[in-house]
Structure 1
Amino acid sequence: MASEVEEQIPVREEFFLCGGVETKIIKCGPWTNLFEKQDVSKPKQLIFIIPEESNAQKIEDVYGLNGQIEHKIAFLRAHVPKDVKLILIGHSVGTYMTLHVMKRVPELPVAHAFLLFPTIERMSESPNGKFATPFLCQFRYLLYATSYLLFKPCPEVIKSFIIQKLMGQMNIKLELPLTDILQPFCLANAAYLGSQEMVQIVKRDDDI
């Protein structure tokens, strides 16, 4: 009976300066530099995932909605050769960013684009949007202060425990530590981006 052999795909974290901010990238695969022509492990297609965030110039308001779209464009221009075909995957508001990346840079060699649970219109009118909009827009600074008071003095072990419990309830298996998302700076940026999403993602762009 033939034994089943599982291929181990290397996963690693790298940091780049992109759009004026340090950007963490999670790479899956044996390749190291897409611009290295002699690299036999260089892929012909690259899967680029935009979740619910160099040589690039500094981007104004990089943590806002428009800044996040420009940030993705800056990364692709600086770190992905033009001859590598792209498979774009967007999740939640990442689908909105994916569509606008393709609209703003139509010359990108996009082979496929997959939009998972797309949120591309009337976000503030959804059930979750109606609940979140007042907190993200009217009471955003109260959220900043609360997150700072709660999580700034919080030990890493407690943050890790909170994340594991939350992810466990959603049946999500953690492969990498996510305690950074409970840093007040990260929470403030997430709330700021969320407030812009509720205000700006209103009417569907039928020109895309």
Structure 2
Amino acid sequence: MQEAFVNINNIPTKVVTVGRWITEKPEKDEDKIILIIPGNPGVTGFYKKFMQILYEKHQCPVWIISHTGHDRNRQKAIEGLFPRPLGLEEQVKQKITFIEEYVPQNANLHIIAHSIGGYMTLELLKEPKIEKRIAQTYLLFPTIEDMIGTTNGKFLYNYIRHIVSVVVFLAWFFTILPKIVSVNLLKFYMFLVNMPANTRDPVMTLIHPKILEQVFYLAYRELEQVNERDNENIKKICTGSIFCMEKMMVGIIRIVAIILRKIFHKSMQRCQSMNILLFFMKMKK
């Protein structure tokens, strides 16, 4: 696994790869590449285990590009100021530039997008020069409509919005604590809420005032802009949907599947797992 900050549109952006680095030449003419576009926060560390699993299964390069500004820039060789807060359009532009500059023209590109990454992927597919280069897209828990109408969206907009400055200040205070103190505080919190131990480093990355400013800025742009589902765009590229979830959710998903069938006139599949809760849209160009 390799990781570094890469200048994309003159802004340092975190990239992590398994298999081969983005500037290495492919071993064969048609190189299959899996590119992950994260949710918000776009901290790459949350996806490393997932990347490793994908690589072991498919034996092809697996890349992830963070949302610009969502990972700490520790690479002094890259010049430039810490990026100002970037909204949805700017983050999509970063992904377009990355694909144009680093994904080979003849690559068999598969995009896996999580949460708001699903919305960004739909925007990518509106660009003809990008759409023709994508073999398949997979949207995991896609947030593509009515974000402000959700329970979390309402809570974020009506309550958290007013105390963002307090949250950012607390993050700053956390960063100036001795490392042994901050690490143990985080370990204790993770124990209380039963968080996986392998998420400690990504959470440590997230608890930083500059990163939280980026995360909140993007979140509120999402609430403002992700309203109506882009049915026309989805109809052009959707080949079906797969729903995986806990048994207690099966009744709900049946209702959702019926609605989607009526909208998109596509066949739906459903699979059950005791350990997975997943809304998955499989799409192609």
User: TM-score band (shorter)?
Assistant: 0.7 to 0.9
Alignment partner of 1:192 is 2:181: no
Please, which runs of 5 or more residues in structure 2 have no aligned partner? 40-66, 68-82, 234-285
Equivalent in 12, 17, 27 of residue 7 of structure 2: 17
Indicate the SS of the match to 1:152: helix
| Residue of structure 2 in register with 1:74 after alignment | 97
Contact 2:30 2:106 in 1 (8 A): no
Shift of 1:120: 0.4
Contact 2:29 2:106 in 1 (8 A): no
TM-score using structure 2 length = 0.58
Equivalent in 47, 64, 72 of residue 34 of structure 2: 47
Cα 1:164–1:113 change in 2 (3 A) is farther
Give the residue type in structure 2 aligned to 1:32. W
| Residue of structure 2 in register with 1:32 after alignment | 21
- Alpha-carbon separation, structure 2, partners of 1:176 and 1:164: 11
Equivalent in 128, 132, 138 of residue 156 of structure 2: 132
Aligned residues: 188
Contact 2:114 2:140 in 1 (8 A): yes
Equivalent in 208, 224, 241 of residue 183 of structure 1: 208
Alignment partner of 1:97 is 2:87: no
Cα 1:151–1:88 change in 2 (3 A) is same
Alignment partner of 1:206 is 2:231: yes
Shift of 1:146: 3.9
Higher RCO (Cα < 8 Å, 6 or more apart): 2
- Alpha-carbon separation, structure 1, partners of 2:28 and 2:219: 38
| Residue of structure 2 in register with 1:111 after alignment | 135
| Residue of structure 1 in register with 2:78 after alignment | none
- Alpha-carbon separation, structure 2, partners of 1:80 and 1:139: 41
TM-score using structure 1 length = 0.77
Shift of 1:118: 1.0
- Alpha-carbon separation, structure 2, partners of 1:164 and 1:42: 50
Alignment partner of 1:86 is 2:109: yes
Cα 1:86–1:107 change in 2 (3 A) is same
Contact 2:109 2:134 in 1 (8 A): yes
Cα 1:169–1:125 change in 2 (3 A) is same
Question: Aligned residues: percent identity?
Answer: 27
| Residue of structure 2 in register with 1:8 after alignment | none
Contact 1:95 1:115 in 2 (8 A): yes
Q: CA RMSD in A?
A: 2.9
Please, which runs of 5 or more residues in structure 1 have no aligned partner? 1-10, 54-59
Shift of 1:79: 1.0
Indicate the SS of the match to 1:207: helix
Cα 1:164–1:124 change in 2 (3 A) is farther
Shift of 1:73: 0.8
Contact 2:168 2:208 in 1 (8 A): no
- Alpha-carbon separation, structure 2, partners of 1:167 and 1:46: 36
- Alpha-carbon separation, structure 2, partners of 1:176 and 1:22: 23
Contact 1:151 1:184 in 2 (8 A): no
Cα 1:12–1:130 change in 2 (3 A) is same
